[in-house]
Amino acid sequence: MNTINETNFQFPKQKSVYKGKVREVYNINDELLVMIASDRLSAFDVIMPRQIPYKGQILNQIATKMMKETEDLVPNWLIANPDENVSVGHLCEPFKVEMVIRGYLSGHAAREYKAGKRLLCGVSMPDGMKENDQFPEPIITPSTKADNGEHDEDISREDILAKGIVSEEDYVFLEDYTRKLFQRGTEIAAQRGLILVDTKYEFGKTKDGKIVLIDEIHTPDSSRYFYVDGYEERQSKGEKQKQLSKEFVRQWLIENGFQGKEGQQIPEMTDAKILEISDRYIELFEQITGDSFIKGNTSNVLERIEKNVVSFLSHS
């Protein structure tokens, strides 16, 4: 399987390149950003040693579809998709926080709750909740945007404003946009028989000062989904929820003694495990978009991307 681990392109008028955990972002003439979704898999802020076939294409195409389905609510950075793994958009200055919103007590919030905490990012969580119960209303629990190799950290609204990470005027927009996007995402998921449990959004500012949605939206890497069917029954019996998200990777890692902590070894990912993860990503793509997944031609995947991007840039 030809997968994308990293790219080292030199596009026309390229100024710089930023390599994140999963995406690589090329600055074109301080005007456009070319964002390439690799097939890298990150969990607990650690990049796994092997890539997942079609993962980048899946993330890119879900994010694109979701941006189009929410652009009437919240403006976004996207201009075009010249390739299955590529999005091109307006150059933005990213805000240094991730806007995490949770409708249910799951994942990180559940782990904190289990440890006895009732305050997350300055937001109180009610007593008497079970894991995967729905919150009375969604809560926003931001995190700092870490540099490579560092862990994102929980932060409260008060600290964000006190430290001047985001101005109060801008933060009001970020909260409003986050709630609107989560509401729309919840409605889209419900149409597909899914529950949008929690997700994160990233925002940036364009050169003319407009706040826009950037990066990914409602993908399995940034969001957690449960199936509507059987949710209530599982909760009443105290059973685990059937879910579609990257959480199944995290759970497998935890069961094999890895949580990204110092001294821990990443368990071996066999070919069978890699294909199983790829199939799960494809399943989520089809479930959340309602479309059949069409695998891109990966025989010369880097050549394909370069050709498509150069062609787009020469015509734009």
pLDDT in tens, 82-114: 999 999 999 999 999 999 999 999 999 999 999
Domains 14-91+264-315 and 94-245 share a fold: no
Parse the chain into domains and list their residue ranges.
Answer: 14-91+264-315, 94-245
Mean pLDDT, rounded, for 165-182: 98
Determine the pLDDT at residue 150: 59
Residues 27-54: pLDDT tens digits?
999 999 999 999 999 988 899 999 999 9
Residue 71 has pLDDT above 60, yes or no: yes
Average pLDDT over residues 47-67: 96
Q: Could you give the CA distance from residue 203 to residue 53 in angstroms, rounded to a whole number?
A: 28
Per-residue pLDDT tens digits for 207-241: 999 999 998 899 988 899 999 999 999 999 999 99
Q: How confident is the model at residue 146 (pLDDT cuts 50, 70, 90)?
A: low
Q: The tokens of 229 are what?
A: 């069917």
pLDDT of residue 234: 97
Quote the pTM value: 0.89
Strand partners, 14: 28
**Across residues 156-175, what is the average pLDDT?**
97
What percentage of the chain exceeds 90 in pLDDT?
A: 87
If one compares 269 and 147, the residue with the highest pLDDT of the two is 269
| Domain 94-245 is found in CATH 3.30.470.20 | yes
Whether 100 contacts 142, CB under 8 Å:
yes
Residue 151 pLDDT: 65
DSSP string, the chain: -----------TTEEEEEE-SSEEEEEETTTEEEEEE-S--EETTEE-SS--TTHHHHHHHHHHHHHHHHTTTS-B-EEEEEETTEEEEE-EEE-SEEEEEEEES-HHHHHHHHTT--EETTEE--TTPPTTPEEEEEEE--EE-PPTTS---B--HHHHHHTTSS-HHHHHHHHHHHHHHHHHHHHHHHHTTEEEEEEEEEEEEETTS-EEEES--S-TTTEEEEESTTHHHHHHHTPPPPEEETHHHHHHHHHTT-SS-TTPPPPP--HHHHHHHHHHHHHHHHHHH-S-------TTHHHHHHHHHHHHHHH-
Average pLDDT estimate for 262-267: 93
Residue 67, pLDDT > 80, answer yes
CATH tag, 14-91+264-315: 3.30.200.20
Asked whether residue 148 carries a pLDDT value surpassing 60, the answer given is no
